[in-house]
């Protein structure tokens, strides 16, 4: 009953359903003991949108706000494109500044040695494609092990679940990828 009421409320909101879903994120369905948003991941999407942006950052700079779980691409004239992101889980978050050192479409994945130590069940290599955890695009951050990349787990966007990489919906990472170049400044707060 509660799930049906939540779904009905979101459907009644129409185009605002995606933003409304973030208000119920983490709400538990007592009948199934699972978050309601797990049963309807499309309602949990965080919309990409142009928003007002104040700051002393040059046009084209990427600002990652890990606390908000949002990535901003500075457009200039007091505006930025805002995207929903997934960030590092507790113990894996980081701050700093890098530049995009490489860009790849449907990148292959080689888990870092640190990740393989924690998760020996992971493959040492995975070819690019829809099953690859890096998703449709990846932007590599300097010489670090971190990337801004797509995800085949859209339900992870808006959460702290990664090993430090910045995850985006595939459609959002494609949009960002097409807007930035190698050398773009990335500031992670």
More confident residue, 179 or 7: 179
Rounded-to-10 torsion of CA 98, 99, 103, 106: 20
Q: Calculate what percentage of the chain has a pLDDT beyond 70.
A: 76
What is the C-alpha end-to-end distance of the chain, expressed in Å? 41
- Burial pattern 93-106, b for ≥16 Cβ within 10 A else e, equals eeeeebebeebbee
pLDDT score of 129: 95
| 62/98 Cα distance (integer angstroms) | 10
96 and 158 in a single domain? The answer is yes
Range of the domain at 88: 49-188
Distance CA 18, CA 25 (A): 11
Is 80 exceeded by the pLDDT of residue 21? no
Confidence of residue 35 (pLDDT cuts 50, 70, 90): very low
With beta carbons less than 8 A apart as the criterion, state whether 146 and 170 touch.
no
Residues 107 and 155 in one domain: yes
Taking the CB of residue 67, how many other CB atoms lie within 10 A of it?
9
pLDDT of residue 166: 98
- Between CA 186 and CA 176 the distance in angstroms is 12
φ and ψ at residue 177, rounded to 5 degrees: -55, -40
Are residues 94 and 121 located together in one domain of the fold?
Answer: yes
- pLDDT score for 55: 87
Are 143 and 179 members of one domain? yes
Structural contact between residues 82 and 157, judged by C-beta atoms closer than 8 angstroms: no
Q: Are 176 and 96 contained in the same domain?
A: yes
Q: What is the DSSP annotation of 83-135?
A: EE-BEEPTTS---EEEEEEEEEES--B---HHHHHH-TTS-S-B-SSTTSTTT
Angstrom CA distances, 47 to 20, 74, 84, 158, stand at: 11, 17, 7, 11
Residues 74 and 126 in one domain: yes
What's the pLDDT at 42? 43
17, 85: one domain: no
- Of 43, 59, 74, the position where a domain reaches its end is 43
Integer Cα distance of 36 and 7 in angstroms? 9
For residue 27, what pLDDT band results from cuts at 50, 70 and 90?
very low
CATH of the domain at 148: 2.40.440.10
Per DSSP, 9 falls in state H
Mean pLDDT score of the chain: 81
Number of domains within the chain: 2
Q: What is the pLDDT of residues 44-60, one digit of tens each?
A: 578 999 999 998 999 99
């Amino acid at each position: 009953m509660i799930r049906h009421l939540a779904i009905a409320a979101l459907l009644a909101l129409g185009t605002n359903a995606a933003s409304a879903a973030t208000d119920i994120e983490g709400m538990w369905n007592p009948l199934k003991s699972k978050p309601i948003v797990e049963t309807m991941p499309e309602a949990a999407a965080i919309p990409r949108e142009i928003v007002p942006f104040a700051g002393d950052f040059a046009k084209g700079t990427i600002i990652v706000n890990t606390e908000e779980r949002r990535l901003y691409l500075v457009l200039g004239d007091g505006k930025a494109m805002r995207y929903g992101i997934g960030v590092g889980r507790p113990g894996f978050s980081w701050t700093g500044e890098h530049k995009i050192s490489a860009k790849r479409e449907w990148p292959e994945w080689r888990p870092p040695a640190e990740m393989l130590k924690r998760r020996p069940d992971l493959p040492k290599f995975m070819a690019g494609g829809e099953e690859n955890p890096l998703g449709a695009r990846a932007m590599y951050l300097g010489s670090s092990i971190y990337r801004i990349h797509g995800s085949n787990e859209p339900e992870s966007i808006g959460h702290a679940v990664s090993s430090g990489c910045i995850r985006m919906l595939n459609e959002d990472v494609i949009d960002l990828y097409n807007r930035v170049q190698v050398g773009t400044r990335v500031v992670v707060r």
